[in-house]
């Protein structure tokens, strides 16, 4: 294959992987828009409703490492194709569900199919493009895929309101069918002569064990844990009820605000990818800066007396939009600390981080909403109850930030011992550059 033909093929593969991931995000986030309708359809409490999102993310998180091993064993194309079929089956089940347990089963299938897609798509990017381009292209993959959230927030929400529950979920099931056809037509595991699958499952498991033993892989886990979870919880379940029922925002405006979160990530993602690739020793500073930004935005919203104005809510969704591409830094840790044959398992482990934090927060928010409703008799989705329940984020993300700092210290110690590279504090690096610049001028 000539260089030009390989380049064309690489972009076709990238396009197919992006379509598959966009579809997966759409399937994942339909529940966030349908949360109010689901509560009415199944006549259920906030905690019971949260199980729809929790089991989906729990299945997703539990399957990340097995899926990574399967990608290392069989290659990404087969794994993505199976995932698209599972998501279609899951959404049909949700569309037909008359009771909450049947809907839970459907969302479990959606979570299982969703679990296959991003890790396998990342593997395709690493196989088809040179290493210096991977951080930025990974951001583009993630950000273009997040447009699926826009599709769930706008057209899916419109169809749900006009045509009803079953028609809307059958429609998104059809989108998964289209994604399956695109993957089968466009995706190739790797360029000719490059093998992606392992010779056997035992080899893949050995690669996974080695990846989990590297501090850089664990650093990626905690980076993903602290940056992604807040935005996922907001987009997948509790953001829409918070905006509509607690803040009193009209449904079209609430859907539009959710799209702002996606657009923010779309715009900032390439910048984060470029900085990650250019300053690999400073990736942790980007992660911590994003955590501080998220904490500040949520503090402003939760401490605002009464209903926060639109400008404050826009600032919040912008911050969460930045957190999405910020979580991709975790996968860059996995890429740089692991050989290609173990990248699937390492990336799967990293992806567990954000979704573990997400389903934990998602469930606790539902429990706290129900507890306040039972104790005070206030409306279930009142603004005051939501402010208390959403504060659980500080506990979860704060614990993750401490773990990230501890792991970073150990990883830097290993880097100094093994490679002689001293990744000291940012202020010291800035001072060194300033002194060096003055020396050159003198």
At residue 6, what are phi and psi to the nearest 5 degrees? -65, -40
pLDDT at 437: 60
pLDDT value of residue 195 = 61
| Nearest residue to 148 via CA among 93, 95, 110 | 110
pLDDT value for 439: 55
What is the value of pTM for the model shown?
0.75
Check residue 254 and report its DSSP letter: H
pLDDT at 299: 97
Q: Which helix (H) or strand (E) element contains residue 12? A: helix 3-42
Q: Which residues contact 69 (CB under 8 A, 6 or more apart)?
A: 201, 204, 205, 208, 344, 345, 348
3-class DSSP state for residue 327?
A: coil
pLDDT at 440: 57
Rounded mean pLDDT for each run of 10 residues along the chain, 442 residues in total: 81 94 89 77 75 80 85 88 95 90 91 91 89 84 83 81 88 92 92 63 78 88 94 86 91 84 84 84 91 96 94 95 90 85 81 88 90 84 92 96 94 73 55 54 56
The ranges assigned to domains in the chain are 3-189+208-441
The separation between CA 48 and the C-alpha centre of its own chain, rounded to angstroms, equals: 23
- Find out if CATH 2.60.40.3710 is the number for domain 3-189+208-441: no
The pLDDT value recorded for residue 198 is 53
Instruction: Note the pLDDT of residue 144.
Output: 87
Nearest by Cα to 388 from 398, 399, 375, 403: 375
pLDDT at residue number 290? 95
**CA 381 to CA 366: how far, in whole Å?**
10
């Amino acid at each position: 294959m000539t260089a030009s033909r390989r380049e064309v093929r690489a972009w076709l593969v990238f396009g197919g992987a992006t379509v598959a991931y966009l579809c997966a995000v759409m399937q994942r986030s339909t529940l966030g828009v349908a949360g109010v309708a689901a509560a009415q359809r199944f006549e259920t409490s906030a905690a019971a409703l949260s199980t729809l999102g929790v089991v989906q993310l729990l299945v997703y998180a539990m399957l990340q490492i097995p899926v990574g091993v399967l990608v290392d064993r069989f290659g990404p194309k087969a794994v993505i194709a199976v995932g698209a079929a599972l998501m279609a089956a899951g959404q049909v089940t949700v569309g037909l569900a008359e009771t909450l347990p049947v809907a839970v089963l459907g969302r479990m299938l959606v979570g299982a199919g969703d679990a296959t897609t991003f890790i396998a798509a990342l593997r395709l990017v690493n196989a088809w493009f040179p290493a210096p381009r991977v951080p930025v292209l990974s951001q583009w993959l993630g950000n273009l895929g997040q447009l699926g959230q826009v599709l769930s927030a706008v057209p899916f929400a419109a169809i749900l309101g006009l045509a009803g529950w079953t028609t809307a979920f059958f429609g998104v099931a059809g989108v998964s069918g289209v994604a399956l056809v695109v993957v089968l037509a466009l995706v190739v595991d790797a360029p000719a002569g490059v093998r992606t699958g392992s010779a056997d499952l035992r080899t893949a498991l050995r690669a996974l064990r080695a990846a989990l033993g590297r501090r850089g892989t664990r650093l990626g886990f905690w980076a993903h844990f602290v940056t992604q979870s807040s935005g996922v919880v907001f987009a997948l379940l509790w953001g829409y009820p918070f905006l509509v029922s607690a803040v009193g925002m009209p449904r079209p405006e609430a859907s539009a605000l959710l799209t702002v979160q996606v657009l923010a990530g779309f715009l900032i993602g390439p910048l984060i990818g470029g900085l990650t690739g250019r300053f690999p020793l400073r990736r942790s500073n980007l992660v911590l800066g994003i955590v501080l930004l998220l904490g500040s935005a949520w503090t402003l919203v939760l401490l605002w007396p009464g209903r926060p104005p639109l400008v404050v809510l826009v600032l919040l969704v912008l911050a969460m939009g930045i957190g999405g591409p910020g979580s991709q830094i975790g996968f860059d840790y996995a890429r740089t600390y692991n050989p290609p044959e173990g990248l699937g398992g390492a990336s799967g482990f990293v992806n567990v981080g954000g979704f573990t934090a997400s389903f934990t927060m998602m469930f606790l928010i539902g429990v706290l909403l129900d507890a306040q409703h039972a104790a005070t008799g206030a409306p279930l989705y009142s603004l005051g109850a939501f402010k208390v329940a959403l504060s659980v984020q500080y506990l979860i993300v704060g614990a993750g930030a401490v773990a990230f700092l501890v792991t970073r210290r150990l990883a830097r110690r290993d880097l100094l011992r093994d490679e002689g590279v001293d990744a000291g504090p940012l202020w010291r690096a800035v001072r060194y550059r300033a002194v060096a610049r003055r020396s050159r001028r003198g």
